[in-house]
Amino acid sequence: MADAAPRTNPLVLSIDAMGGDRAPGAVLDGIDIARVRHPGVRFLLHGPQGELERLIAGEAGLQGVVEIRHAANVVAMDEKPSQALRRRADTSMSNALDSVKNGEAAACVSAGNTGALMAIAQFNLRRIEGIRRPAIAALWPTMHGQTVVLDVGANAGSDARHLVDFAVMGAAYARVVFGLERPLVALLNIGAEEMKGNDAVKGAAQALREATGLPMSFQGFVEGDDISAGTVDVVVTDGYTGNIALKAAEGTAKLIQHYLKEALKRSWMSMLGAAIASGAFRILKIRMDPRSVNGGVFLGLNGIVVKSHGGADGLGFASAIDLAIDMAKQNIVQRIADGLKGVSAALPVPAESAVVEGEAAE
């Protein structure tokens, strides 16, 4: 992570207490873990005051760390984004975003409905000038460290223009989190050959190839197995494809853990070997645990928003908080906005391509 200027004021995060399948219990568990990892950080917790006060009363560690902000309503996990946007008033999600908008908090974290969170975030925080659609960027573990992958769920369909925007934002994000001057950027495709792919992918590739003076190195196309191989620093795709790839990778990690656990219990010899290699297996388990890399950053907004997986437990939610703190300390919104200045002029206008209309992928 690149160095950032030291903060003099306490860092405050705004938390949607009621977002996610396990809220508010998992949210409070995550805050409890995060406040140990990050002493001095404070939390604004948005949700029904009576319920949250009862839960926090039994958690001594949260006293003085959390401030409850009452919100009478909750955005349901299956609610349509358009519906959630119309009735956003006094919901825990909208109020959490408002705290970022008005400067009370440095970032917002929510495990709630992805489509609703993106819709309300765009309304409350607005997009960075020049960005047509925001995207969700995830840090993907690879053989060589990490790769930025976007979009992983904000847009069900994207045209060539959107993919070009994602490439520019992803490169700016990689410069911040990896400290790279010219990140390697590629488009996710069904093959590396130039003739493969749909119109959106081909149009975006043509525009990025023809651009001059971009602060990135465009590498063309990569396939799905290149993501975990870490062949490039940034992988660009639409939210529909990216979300499926992300969840397939999480499922694969769990499957391997399951197979490994079964194999180690198969005989007394395997159990003895497991005991001898327990330290190595512990490291492997940590690296393969999807909860350790939980959290996607909404790029392209005038404010930091981190989306936790809806099914995250306390440890997973704490990882999303870790990411929000990192992004706030790096002043990522301003640094991305600065990085985008002048970039549009360097890009040819990509050919128009069809976009599948729809809401967020998750």
Q: 3-state DSSP: the chain helix, strand, coil percent, rounded to 5?
A: 45, 15, 35
Measured CA distances, 327 to 97, 106, 273, 343 (Å): 16, 9, 41, 22
Q: How many CB atoms lie within 10 A of CB 154?
A: 34
Mean pLDDT value across the chain: 83
Burial of 287 (0-12, 13-18, 19+ CB in 10 A): exposed
Mean pLDDT of 123-131: 88
pLDDT at 296 > cutoff 60:
yes
pTM given for the model:
0.80
Q: What is the pLDDT of residues 59-95, one digit of tens each?
A: 888 988 999 999 999 999 999 989 889 988 899 999 9
What pLDDT shows up at residue 221? Answer: 94
The CATH code of the domain at 12-346 is 3.40.718.10
Backbone angles phi, psi at 124, to 5 degrees: -75, -40
Mean pLDDT of 135-158: 85
What's the token pair of residue 51? 């319920």
Residue with tokens 């396939």: 223
308 contacts: CB under 8 Å, gap ≥ 6: 19, 20, 30, 109, 110, 111, 294, 295, 316, 317, 319, 320
What pLDDT shows up at residue 255? Answer: 77
Q: What is the pLDDT of residues 15-68, one digit of tens each?
A: 999 999 999 999 999 999 999 999 999 999 999 999 999 999 878 889 889 999
What pLDDT shows up at residue 39? Answer: 93
Q: What is the pLDDT of residues 205-232, one digit of tens each?
A: 988 988 877 888 999 899 988 888 889 9
Interatomic CA distance for residues 128 and 337, integer angstroms: 7
